[in-house]
A and B are shown apart, each in its own frame.
Chain A
Amino acid sequence: MPLSKDELLKAYRMMKTIREFEERLHVEFATGEIPGFVHLYAGEEASATGFCMHLDDRDKIASNHRGHGHSIGKGCDVDAMMAEIYGRGNGLCGGKGGSMHIADLSKGMMGANGIVGGGSPLACGAALAAKQLGTGGVAISFFGDGASNQGTSMESLNLASVWNLPCIFVVENNGYAEATSSKYSVACDDAADRASAFNMPGVVVDGHDFFAVYEAAGEAVKRAREGKGPTLIECKLNRYYGHFEGDAQTYRGKDEVKNLRATIDCLDRFRAKVTSADLLSEAELDVIDGEVAALIDGSVEKAKAAPMPAPAELLTDVYISY
């Protein structure tokens, strides 16, 4: 099924929103106004978008440190996300979560996760619930090459296979776990090899190409919805910024990021493809660019102006405080 014009516009808007959100955070973080740790998803937008375009309200995702893109993809409110990252009382989690713990269960976003490898068991649980309750939903765990080495990842692959869960494991391999290269740290080089060990299909896709991700994701989601079990998909992609903001990235090659941006940027590729195929015009995409820029401007402005959480909030949302 080729994507309709509306769907192409939606995909572009999603990718662009993620990019602008992250680029802006990069700038704002440098001013010192954003507390804590921020891990940016810029460069990886095609992955979150390629998967989330297939999802609906029945579906759940578990994310990771680098979770802003998945959150936007799953429909979390951008203003509330921005306010949360600024630690404001009107943030998505009332200012109690922050960047690493953004969640909106009402949208099926089960949380970014501060624990590397923490999400996959949770996704198994969401998939189990979908299966037991017969909702037709699927669950996706997004994790990185670093988390792919965690025991929880391996255990979850096994459990999902044993229970034939509608669960999709997405390894977003950006080449680095913090500062350590996946070439060094991952003994088994491709998801495909690991997946076959757990009796499920495993494929590698170009994570810079929205259409490649979208196609593979569609097949995996379909397979999960039809009760045929889990799939492991590895998106080979790159991040444009450091592990966290403030990471000088001295471990990366000279001009590595500059070259990536110039040659394989997922937004540039999307734009070039859809315009040369005459499906969308430059002008239509430019309109989205403008709207997204305004959205992000507004969200930063509102977040900065928003009040901090009331002190009494310290002791709420937990069953008891001593």
Chain B
Amino acid sequence: MARNISYQQAIGEALAQEMERDETVILMGEDVAGGAGSPGEDDAWGGVLGVTKGLYGKFGDRVMDTPITESAFIGAAVGAATSGLRPVAELMFIDFMGVCFDQMFNQAAKFRYMFGGNAETPVVIRTMYGAGFRAAAQHSQCLYPVFTHIPGLKVVTPSTPYDAKGLLIQSIRDNDPVIFCEHKALYTLEGDVPEEAYAIPFGEANVTREGDDVTIVTLGRMLHVAHEAADALAKEKISCEVVDLRTTSPMDTDTIIESVENTGRLVVLDESHPRCSIATDVSAIVAQEAFGALKAPIRMVTAPHVPVPFAENLEDLYIPDAGQVQQAVRTVMGKD
């Protein structure tokens, strides 16, 4: 039975159901309960944005507040994953990867290959990303391309409440390390989500809108910008197909190519920076695999190559918007 719940509730529900199902699933992070050792409530926060609220009451010491010590607790989650637990660690902001990156890309990502297939590291690192909260340069980045670059990591970027639940459940059940990226602007987004547990397989992009003229490949929060643009373009009689990647590693290149072969035109919409991003990666794949199908040069719509600014007007300018997407689509249609 599906109900209308938020992205945030969907994530909390996935965690609760998986913790119920499998007692080796534990949760750790800064203030994931919130209040350890304090005189007041033990479950005061449930994560900085309340995503894990209530889990401490249900699961007790399987929900562990950590000191602010990302290297140690992300590393501990990785180590515990090689030792019989399935930890879900919350790295509060993706920007904080800077102080624990070694444990993710040199340790977790490498074990299976480096140890000749004799290691599994079923750890999930949930982390919040994206601009739009006036949180400025160190709390707003879209760093999923960095993780996507690293073999051995799986990278997930859900765009809807339905996907958030199904992809998180898959992440927890998966035996490889998963970086689960939650866009902070999506937490309040509501949508239909089944009550029961379900898993969405990795590497299967979602064609969220069918169309004939242009393929817009996007992910995360930008999916909604793509739809806004597609709605507007429909009034100009331009038919857009929208492909939501869901996971950037593994990436569903088949669906992208198939769509481009149908439409003959590609716009890639990515909130990260223009170089070595998902936009450049998708563009390169299409240029290599489906060049013959292209009727026009590919266009990329990304944030500019600058840190995320603080001032409201500047941040609004920074984030790609529907207008830029529409312009890019008109360009590939030869209508600008």
Contacts and interface: CB of A to CB of B under 8 A. Distances in A.
A binds B: yes
Interface of A: 60, 62, 91-97, 101, 103-106, 110-111, 113-115, 118, 120-126, 128-130, 132-133, 135, 139, 151-152, 155-156, 158-159, 162-163, 316-321
Contact of A93 (B72, B83, B114): B114
Contact of B83 (A96, A126, A316, A320): A126
Contacts of A124: 72, 75-76, 79
B274 interface: no
- Lowest 9 CB-CB distances: which A-B pairs, in order? A121-B75, A125-B79, A94-B116, A122-B79, A155-B72, A129-B83, A93-B116, A125-B80, A317-B117
Given A159-B67, A318-B151, A121 B83 contact: no
Interface of B: 24, 26, 61-62, 64, 66-67, 69, 71-85, 87, 99, 102-103, 106-107, 110-119, 151-152, 154, 176, 203, 249-250
Contact of B69 (A92, A155, A319): A155
A125 B83 contact: yes
A96 B114 contact: yes
A241 to B, nearest CB: 24
B66 A159 contact: yes
A151 B71 contact: yes
B152 A318 contact: yes
- Where chain A touches its partner, the secondary structure class is mixed
Contacts of B99: 151
Given A159-B69, A318-B151, A125 B82 contact: yes
26 contacts: A94-B116, A96-B114, A105-B118, A111-B115, A111-B119, A113-B107, A118-B75, A121-B73, A122-B76, A122-B78, A123-B79, A125-B75, A125-B78, A125-B87, A126-B79, A132-B62, A133-B85, A135-B84, A139-B79, A152-B75, A155-B72, A156-B76, A158-B67, A159-B73, A163-B64, A321-B151
Nearest to B61: A132
Contacts, number: 154
Nearest to A309: B116
Given A91-B116, A126-B79, 9 more contacts: A93-B118, A96-B113, A110-B83, A113-B107, A122-B79, A135-B84, A155-B69, A318-B151, A320-B250
Nearest to A94: B116
B78 A101 contact: no
Contacts of B115: 93, 96-97, 101, 103-105, 111
Contacts of A316: 117
B152 A319 contact: yes
Contacts of A106: 118
B67 A162 contact: yes
Contacts of B151: 318, 321
A91 B77 CA distance: 28
Nearest to A97: B114
Contacts of A125: 75-83, 85, 87
A122 B75 contact: yes
A95 B250 contact: no
